[in-house]
Structure 1
């Protein structure tokens, strides 16, 4: 029942199973990560969040899904800047953010 509530309304995302209370953004005792697409778990039993995120990005790419509108720029930033997939094709907003980050890192 709780799992159904967690997946409710989720277009794409990760479900992170953990033990204990949640004090930080990511709990220390993660026991499972699952990839969710359109309220259905399509991959489960992943051991860590980075693997889950890579599988999520791969799923979005392979199924040719659109990024959720509310998280469009986050996904684009992760794809273009962090993962360096076609970095020259980023939007003006992401290009500006990337330049500001690079300028402040030097």
Structure 2
């Protein structure tokens, strides 16, 4: 497995991962292409080539944003989730405080009225 740009095999910005065994006796491998410096309009110039033993035709996958998954969006999605959770906690705390204050005022005013009626 390797990456190509304009039909030529590339090695720069390519990270060859380990070959790992699967539970069924097969293996998996990873070859990452760092696309952080690749302009989105140039993605079509890149493709990943799988050369499988015993198979005459290579499997070629174009670098396509709709097909290739990246981890670019995860931090943004995580931060949005964290913000939502914090806002919910703040709203719950504010509601709890308001309820506590209202009950405290009600019970305090009742005590004040009883003390005034006894005098």
Q: TM-score range by the shorter chain?
A: under 0.3
Q: Structure 1 or 2: larger strand share?
A: 2
Which is greater in Rg?
2
TM-score by length of 2: 0.18
Q: Structure 1 or 2: larger helix share?
A: 1
TM-score by length of 1: 0.19
